[in-house]
Copies of this chain bind each other. A is one copy, B any other.
């Protein structure tokens, strides 16, 4: 079912037909399709895990877990879609019969998905973007990630099987394989494409965003890009937890060889004896830790280049280097340190080095810590390694943090991204291009919807979500009251 760059127009026209097909489905029917896709992915055997392992160097156990997460994502999103939560059905009837207005959310149109390399299942071909777009009633065109083409094809075939068994139009899902950069651009520019989802670098995401906004008819481009996910380590907490914190931090920093978009790449604390104790612990933990292979040669090369750039700055000192194994192409972790005054003078020190790299910023006092917070660009997460006493003392830090991220953590580490309704994965620019939406959790479906009103429209031609008698038994806001009636 490979489709190549030679027929972009054909693929997109097919996707438009697929969208028209999905427009006629109701939320129950779309949930059924999603369950079928989940079952097909679940049914993929060892070949999937082995293929992905060979293509990404990710450990087998991690891939098993990610596969389960991907299947669960499809099911959870389907459950959410089926409840009608995202239909947001509203009915207003004028008591004098002047109007009968009914509104629900429908799909935007065909969506182009660019998967991530660091989650070959959960954020790629059959990942959250594809699941949420189909849940919204949009057809999907996946541009296969070049770093795991075979894995992508296995997933695409699984989706195709489910689509075909379901009796849906082929165009509901398309898989485009191309090593040309132009293919992605042509897809984003095509007039029938109505939205784009991307997970990857700032450079790639921002380019697609600009392309989407400069079309004759601009379209939403949801790009999840970089984040240094700063951890603010506050005095009271530090004094009482440095050993446990050091373990936690190094473990989070090295998780998946540092290849998480929520990797805690920056640690901010007030300097002094306590921080010195912590640094000694961090060195010890880093020495004891093992590392591994990165996803592909390009990522390793980029990691080494950005790391090199950082240590070229006079202000940046190496605190500790981790395990090295060049023979096996392992990524060598690195902890560096600097002072807040240096960061305030050079914001480039806060740029992301994607990989197992941590920068420790030492502040003269809490006021300087506040200035570092003010300097921060948008982040996916900000973590307060703090006691409640610390929070009480630092209300201004807390307020500033709320303007600069999408998820705020009290203690713990940001690397775990739970697939839950209450998850916000996305933050102010440049973390993502649209902080108004999440790319993890069922609410990700909302990205691909738009409201649509029918006025005085005959009942028989209304979508089921809005028909008299509420055949789907979803919650609806009728004359300002929630009801299933």
**Interface positions of A (Cβ within 8 A of B):** 20, 23, 79, 90-92, 94, 98-99, 101-103, 106, 108-109, 209-210, 213, 217-218, 220, 377-378, 388, 391, 398-399, 402-403, 406-412, 416, 418, 420-424, 426, 428-430, 433-438, 443, 449-458, 460-461, 475, 477, 480, 482
Beyond A99-B416, A101-B418, A213-B218, whether A453 also contacts B402 by CB under 8 A is: no
Bound Cα distance A99, B388 (Å): 17
- 5 residue pairs, one from A and one from B, having the closest CB atoms: A101-B422, A424-B453, A92-B420, A90-B422, A407-B453
Let me know if A209 and B218 touch, CB within 8 A. Answer: yes
Provide the bound-state CA to CA distance between A353 and B398, in Å: 51
22 examples of A-B residue contacts, CB within 8 angstroms: A91-B422, A92-B420, A94-B418, A103-B421, A106-B402, A108-B436, A209-B218, A210-B213, A217-B428, A388-B458, A391-B461, A406-B451, A410-B454, A410-B455, A410-B456, A410-B457, A411-B456, A412-B455, A421-B477, A422-B453, A424-B451, A437-B451
**Residue from A403, A422, A430, A458 with most neighbouring chain B CB atoms (10 Å):** A422
- The reply to whether A220 and B436 contact each other, CB–CB distance below 8 Å, is yes
* Smallest beta-carbon distance A104→chain B, Å: 9
Q: Which of B101, B409, B449 contacts A455, CB < 8 Å? A: B409
CA distance A103 to B213 in the complex (A): 29
Smallest Cβ-Cβ distance to A399: which chain B residue: B20
- When C-beta atoms are compared, the residue in chain B nearest to A426 turns out to be B451
How many angstroms between the C-alpha atoms of A429 and B210 in the bound complex?
Answer: 17
Known contacts A420-B92, A438-B451; is A433 also within 8 Å of B218 by CB?
yes
B421 touches A90 (CB 8 A): yes
A429–B218 touching, CB < 8 Å: yes
- Number of copies of chain A assembled together: 2
Residues of B within 8 A of A433 (CB): 218
Do residues B436 and A450 form an inter-chain contact, with CB atoms below 8 A?
yes
Hey, which chain B residues are within 8 Å of A422, CB to CB?
Answer: 90-92, 101-103, 453
**Which residue of B is nearest A388, CB measured?**
B458
Given the complex, which residues of B lie within 8 Å of A418, measured CB to CB? 92, 94, 99, 101
Contact of A423 among B79, B411, B412, B453 (CB under 8 A): B453
Residues of B near A449 (CB, < 8 A) are 436
Distance from A121 Cβ to chain B, minimum over Cβ atoms (Å): 22
Instruction: List residues of chain B with CB within 8 A of the CB of A443.
Output: 90, 451
- Per the bound structure, the CA–CA distance linking A132 and B435 in Å amounts to 19
Write the nearest CB–CB distance from A419 to chain B, whole angstroms.
Answer: 10
A90-B420, A92-B418, A424-B451 given; 5 more Cβ-contact pairs under 8 Å: A92-B423, A109-B403, A213-B218, A407-B453, A438-B451
In the bound complex, residues from chain B placing their C-beta under 8 Å from that of A475 are: 482
Known: A92-B420, A418-B101, A422-B102. A406 touches B436 (CB 8 A): no
A101 close to B423 (CB less than 8 A): yes
In Å, the complex CA distance between A458 and B390 comes to: 12
A94 to chain B: closest residue by CB? B418
**Which of chain B's residues has its CB closest to A455's CB?**
B409
Contacts of A398 in B (CB 8 A): 461
Q: Which residues of B contact A108 (CB under 8 A)?
A: 435-436
- In the assembled complex, the CB of A26 is this many whole angstroms from the nearest CB of chain B, namely 15
Asked whether, in the complex, the Cβ of B460 is within 8 Å of the Cβ of A408, the reply is no
Residues of B within 8 A of A399 (CB): 20, 23
Contact in complex: A391, B218 (CB < 8 Å): no
- CB A98 to nearest CB in B, in angstroms, measures 8
Give the docked Cα–Cα distance between A203 and B416 (Å): 46
Task: Find out whether the CB atom of B378 lies under 8 angstroms from the CB atom of A217.
Answer: yes
Q: Is the CB of B480 within 8 A of A421?
A: yes
Closest chain B residue, CB of each to CB of A194? B428
Chain B: CB-nearest residue to A434: B220
A454-B406 Cα distance, complex, nearest whole Å = 9
Establish whether residues B458 and A412, one from each chain, have CB atoms under 8 Å apart when the complex forms. Answer: no
Q: How far is the CA of A423 from the CA of B457 in the complex (A)?
A: 13
Output the least CB separation between A36 and chain B (Å).
Answer: 22
Task: Pick the contact of A103: B424, B430, B461 (CB < 8 A).
Answer: B424
